[in-house]
Amino acid sequence: MLRQKAFMKKTKSGKVLKVVKEHYLRDDIWCSVETCKVCEHSEPVLSAVPSINKAYRLPHYIIPDTNIFINQIDVMEHPLITNVIVLQTVLEEVKHLSLPIYQRVRDMIANKEKRFYVFSNEHHRGTFIEKLKDESPNDRNDRAIRVATKWYGNHIKDLNPRVSVVMMTDDAGNRDKATADGLQAISVKWYIEALDNAEILDMMSSAKDLDDGQKTIYDEHLSAAHVSNGIKSGKYLQGKLGISSHNYLEGSIYTKINGEEGTILIVGRSNLNRAVDGDIIAVELLPKSEWRTTPTGVVVDEEEEQAEEESLKAEQEAAATAAKEDALDTPQPCGKVVGIIRRNWRQYCGFIDRKSVHTPAGSSAPVNVLFYAMESKIPKIKIRTRQAHSLLGKRIIVAIDSWPRTSRYPIGHFIRALGEAGDKSTETEVLLLEHDVPFHEFSKQVLSFLPVEGENWVVQPEHFAGREDFRSLNVCSIDPPGCTDIDDALHVIPLPNGNYQVGVHIADVTHFVKPGNVMDQEAASRGTTVYLVDKRIDMLPSLLGTNLCSLRSNVERLAFSCIWELNKDAEIVNVRFTKSVIASKASLTYEEAQNRIDDASMQDDVTSGIRILNMLAKKLKQRRLDMGALTLASPEVRFSLERDTQDPVDVEMKELKETNALVEEFMLLANISVARKIYEKFPDSAMLRCHPQPPSANFEKLEKAVARFGIEIDHSTSKTLSDSLDNAVLPEEPYFNKLLRIMTTRCMMQALYFCSGAQIEQEFRHYGLATDIYTHFTSPIRRYSDVMVHRQLHAAIDSSLSYGDELTDKEKMNDLCGNLNHRNRMAQQAARSSVELFTHLFFKNKTEEEEGYVIRILKNAFIVLVPKYGIEGIVYASAKVSKTADSGDAAAQPQPILVYNPETDCLQSTETLAEGETPKTQVQLFQKVMVQISIDDDLKGGGEGGMRQKLKMELLKPWIEGISVHGISNKDDPEAHAVTSKKREEAPVQAQDKKRAGKRTKA
């Protein structure tokens, strides 16, 4: 091995620091071309006969420059592009500019079929270049790329079969220089056009081909320096934009305004100024006279949106005068986007708007069409495609390239098609993609870390080292029917002193998943198992999840046990933790366990154990409730699926049995005990879970609404809240209490994982469970947090155990918590979307009349919850003029039938009222209504362009002229009352922490 030494840089930074670095230039960096005889590479990446393109006579390897990857990454990812030489210079620049793109390039390099080879040109003797005097770093890098291209050209010129290299760049100056050097250079556009493939042509990013003559629609964004100065001086406010799910022209940021936390509304296209949901933006506050008070309405499409904007202006003027008279309602601060600090664009699933396709069918000329994202928060995206007609009615993925000032909509490009809209598997893929759920199969590499014995793995004598033998105990597990990943089991023994020994045994996943290996990394990135209605996306390979770790009955399994001694009143006398081997005697369903308790003739050991556990669980629960734990509710439903097609045939509310609570109580107890233990051992880095107290602003509307019934909600502590919920019973309305609990759930904050060193001890509190410390320990098969907690607990009980800094490093733990929180949120949303999807399938070709309750009031609509199906839908409060009428006409504006009254937070009829008179008709929170539910047949995105507006809810009772429809027999024009089904936004917090609240599906 030859080594050459060359002296490199002397850089100066801040403190005048002289940096002297060595740089060894090498002779042993190979070209990796299959036919090359000179180089000694062992596994050549580049094939002997590489890409062929009409533009060139010879087959060639492509050497792209940095901007090709940054701007055209989707093209590069296309299977047609292979045999690419990625220069180290390029790779480093890409990494510097965009980490996500760097990651995608790395993924391509790892993919053997793509044949991407990284050539470390900066370390190669023949291709390394010194920066010249007066040369900018960019010019130096461009030159490095040219030098490397030249080197490759010379290196492979005598190979047989003959090949060449082509440098790909969109920089014309660089191309000219390359041609002057005798190199072949080409732009992406020419190259792709010569490939003659419609799909890849569509994928090309269209950032630059705009005429400048167009009139500008938006204000210019301020420069980055300007923005950062403005934020420092307090002139601008920084925040992450969250767009309202009802109205994509209304967003808000949560930030500090004059030292106080608050929300700033950003309303309207020009105020949003090209910001997209999730972007980090800089906002300037508007003058107080333009602040607004009322909630906004729902915007469905263009015409309405324009009307909305006009009415907005009028309203603002009115509001300005009204604000002076009515000091009661403080207007919300409003702002305007002045700059974008960081874009958060991702790939979006959606569909092409049929109305925007004007070419005749079969035409393959490129056309500009509009794309609707499934996510209603995303504006329409303009894309250029040659396959508009074949893509109609399909779900496709699109990326945003840019949003110039001259364009009303952002400009993007097509990436790939997923399949027919409405198809169950397509829609499931869409919802997984939309929620960023990794659902690919486990790679071979991951599977290689499974035990070699596979299914035949059994507990061996050597496994008993450091474990207690609990095989003789009467351990049993209680789970939902059809559950295959059993991660907990219980036992109880009455002790001679009258106390009880209770054990919770949790699957010992960490015995199989060792820290840092590929399987562990994969599990950490997945974070959680995702439960959809018809399938499960596992966190761990199923050999572990459903077999080796699963605590099935009558097999020996490794477990991590938590053993208490409880006295008669279920108070903890002592607790210890140990690794163990157990053999479960029975795996029961909730129902079976309940039957055993109830059946007096059953007197076996397992059954009497369950009875004792049940007795103890009731005491535990009572004490927990006395401490102020909340009992919340969520409208969860369960589908009965047809066996073969997996189509839903029936829906029922989930039912909770006493035995659900039994298991839950002991799991909570275990989690709390473990949390204490690991916090003691790792005060700075324990993985814990907290649930912050909700701010009182969350309760304002609810309090107002229930005051009507003479009910008060005191949310100062969880105890008072819990008591007021218990007392809020209306004898004439049995469902009222449940409804109130559902709505309270939505006022709650999200429970979060956190690293104990990152917060003060007072903030560890779990509000919902009313405990001062909490963690997740009991489901390591389906949650990665529990895996970490297992490792920490093991380190806490076994002082001789060696562990790396993954358990002690505060930063790493914090990052991990961030990822787990994100994955968790996404998993919940995906699960809910899946339920929504099945609800839609269920209502296909059906029309049902059902009772519902008003749970939210918007400016021009209200949201109804139908308890029987657990679904929500919007009912409009304005009569919509049929779209078939001349839409340009001013008369086409919707006429409000009911108007919003901010004082009472209800919608009321428009007639003028005398003092003290109640309006003729009004819609208010908690009101019981009859609605008709049906499905919008228009799945193919025709007429209304509404492929995502599927569930339709129409008011039957009370009868309001212009809004209500006559039952099924007397169905109106279906388009007169289009209704969007919207995603329920708030997660029921409790459900995730209460172990079983419907997490599992039929396997």
Partner 1 sequence: MSRAELLSPEGLRIDGRRPAELRKITSTTCVLSQADGSAYLEHGNTKVLAAVYGPREARHRALVLHDRAILNVELNVAPFSTGERRRRSKNDKRLLEMASFVKQTFEPVVIATLYPRSQIDIYLQVIQHDGGTLQACINATTMALIDAGIAMTDYVCACTAGWVEREAAIDLNYIEESSDTSEVTIAMLPKSSKITLTQMESRLHVDKLEEVFRLAGEGCKQMYEVMDKTIRDRAEDLARKMAV
DSSP letter for 783, please: B
Q: Convert 899-931 to b/e letters by CB count within 10 Å (16 or more is b).
A: ebeeebbbbbbeeeeeeeeebebbbbbbbebbb
In DSSP terms, 536 is beta-bridged to: 531
Q: How far is the CB of 423 from partner 1 (least distance, A)?
A: 39
Q: Which is nearer to partner 1, 680 or 805 (CB)?
A: 805
**In the block, which residue shows the tokens 């056309």?**
367
Task: Name residue, tokens 């300037």.
Answer: 284
Which one of the spans 150-158, 538-546, 708-716, 798-806 is the region binding partner 1 (CB under 8 A)?
798-806
Q: Which stretch binds partner 1 (CB under 8 A): 145-153, 796-804, 852-860, 962-970?
A: 796-804
The residue behind tokens 């076996």 is 604
Closest distance of CB 17 from partner 1, Å: 4
Number of residues forming the site for partner 1 (CB under 8 A): 27
> Exactly one of 604, 626, 805, 886 binds partner 1 (CB under 8 A); which one?
805
Closest to partner 1 by CB, 42 vs 645, is: 42
Min. distance of Cβ 680 from partner 1 in angstroms?
A: 21
CB of 600 to partner 1, least distance (A): 56
Q: Compute the least distance from the CB of residue 786 to partner 1, in Å.
A: 22
Site for partner 1 contains 1 (CB under 8 A): yes
- Which tokens go with 51? 């890409």
Nearest to 627 by CA among 833, 765, 744: 765
The answer to the question of residue 54 lying near partner 1 (CB under 8 A) is no
CB of 106 to partner 1, least distance (A): 7
Choose, by CB under 8 A, the member of 697, 804, 895, 913 that binds partner 1: 804
Distance CA 830, CA 984 (A): 11
Grouping H, G, I as helix, E, B as strand and the rest as coil, residue 921 is coil
Q: Does 518 bind partner 1 (CB under 8 A)?
A: no
Smallest separation (angstroms) from partner 1 to the CB of 114:
15
* Positions 181 through 210 that interact with partner 1 (CB under 8 A): none
Helices (H) and strands (E) in the chain, counts: 24, 41
3-state secondary structure string across 843-880: HCCCEEEEEEEEEEECCCEEEEEECCCCEEEEEECEEC
**Minimum distance of partner 1 from residue 28's CB (angstroms):** 9
Subset of 81-110 contacting partner 1 (CB under 8 A): 88, 95, 99, 106, 109
* CB closer to partner 1 out of 122 and 479: 122
Q: Which of 190, 803 has the CB closer to partner 1?
A: 803
When the beta carbons of 20 and 890 are compared against partner 1, the nearer one is 20
Q: Which stretch binds partner 1 (CB under 8 A): 237-245, 280-288, 364-372, 801-809?
A: 801-809
Residue 720: burial class (beta carbons within 10 Å; 0-12, 13-18, 19+): middle
Alpha-carbon distance of 225 to 240, in angstroms, equals 19
Q: Which of 299, 796 has the CB closer to partner 1?
A: 796
Task: Give buried/exposed letters for 92-129 (b at 16+ CB in 10 A, else e).
Answer: ebbeeeeeebbebbbebbeeeebbbbbbebbebebbbb
3 state DSSP class of 196 = coil
In the complex, minimum distance from the CB of residue 27 to partner 1, in angstroms, rounded to a whole number: 11
| Nearest residue to 906 via CA among 854, 980, 957 | 854
Question: Of 240-248, 289-297, 434-442, 800-808, which segment contacts partner 1 by CB under 8 A?
Answer: 800-808
- Report the alpha-carbon distance of residue 116 to residue 108 in Å, rounded: 7
SS3 (DSSP) at 384: strand
- Measured from the CB atom, is 124 or 377 closer to partner 1? 124
Q: Report, in Å, the least distance between residue 5 CB and partner 1.
A: 5
Pick the binder of partner 1 from 41, 104, 123, 189 (CB under 8 A): 123
CB nearer partner 1, residue 709 or residue 803: 803
For CA atoms 193, 198, 200, 204, give the dihedral sign: positive
Contact residue for partner 1 among 94, 118, 432, 476 (CB under 8 A): 118
Of 5 and 444, the one with the shorter C-beta distance to partner 1 is 5
User: Does 5 contact partner 1 by CB under 8 A?
Assistant: yes
Minimum CB–partner distance for residue 808 and partner 1 (Å): 8
Distant-in-sequence, close-in-space partners of 920: CB < 8 Å, separation ≥ 6: 909, 911
Work out how close the CB of 244 gets to partner 1 at its nearest, in angstroms, rounded to a whole number.
32
| For partner 1, the closer CB: 125 or 618 | 125
* Residue 5 to residue 729: CA distance in whole angstroms: 83
**Considering beta carbons, is residue 123 or 463 the nearer one to partner 1?**
123
- Nearest 5°: phi and psi at 310? -65, -45
DSSP string, 541-609: -HIIIIIISS--BTSEEEEEEEEEEE-TT--EEEEEEEEEEEEBSEEEEHHHHHHHHH-TT--SHHHHH
Closest distance of CB 143 from partner 1, Å: 19
Kindly write down the DSSP assignment for every residue of 65-110, as one continuous string. -HHHHHHHHHHHTSTT---EEEEHHHHHHHHHH-HHHHHHHHHHHH
Considering only residues 10 to 49 of the shown chain, the ones binding partner 1 according to CB under 8 A are 15, 17-26
| Nearest approach, Cβ of residue 821 and partner 1 (Å) | 20
Residue with smaller CB distance to partner 1, 22 or 441: 22
Subset of 475-504 contacting partner 1 (CB under 8 A): none
Are the C-beta atoms of residues 425 and 533 closer than 8 Å to each other? no
CA-closest candidate to residue 122, choices 151, 97, 158: 151
| Residue whose CB is less far from partner 1, 79 or 804 | 804
Whole-number Å distance between alpha carbons of 735 and 731: 9
Nearer to partner 1 by Cβ, of 26 and 940: the residue is: 26
d(CA 78, CA 111): 12
Spatial distance between the Cα atoms of 35 and 47, rounded to a whole number of angstroms:
8
In the complex, minimum distance from the CB of residue 802 to partner 1, in angstroms, rounded to a whole number: 4
Measured from the CB atom, is 88 or 164 closer to partner 1? 88
Least distance from C-beta 804 to partner 1, angstroms? 5
Q: Which is nearer to partner 1, 106 or 654 (CB)?
A: 106
Residue 45 or residue 533: which is nearer to partner 1 going by CB? 45
57 binds partner 1 (CB under 8 A): no
For partner 1, which is the closer residue by CB, 20 or 314? 20
Neighbours of 588 (CB within 10 A): 22
CB of 71 to partner 1, least distance (A): 21
**What is the Rg, in whole angstroms, of the alpha carbon atoms belonging to the chain?**
32
Q: Judged by CB under 8 A, which stretch of 114-122, 270-278, 529-537, 964-972 contacts partner 1?
A: 114-122
Q: Is 802 in the site for partner 1 (CB under 8 A)?
A: yes
Dihedral (CA of 93, 94, 98, 99) sign = negative
Backbone φ and ψ for 923, nearest 5 degrees, come out as -120, 125
Question: Near partner 1 by CB under 8 A, which window of 1-9, 366-374, 608-616, 954-962?
Answer: 1-9
CB of 117 to partner 1, least distance (A): 10
CA atoms of 816 and 821, how far apart (whole Å): 9
Q: Is 120 in the site for partner 1 (CB under 8 A)?
A: yes
Positions in the binding site for partner 1 (CB under 8 A): 1, 3, 5, 15, 17-26, 88, 95, 99, 106, 109, 118, 120, 122-123, 802-805
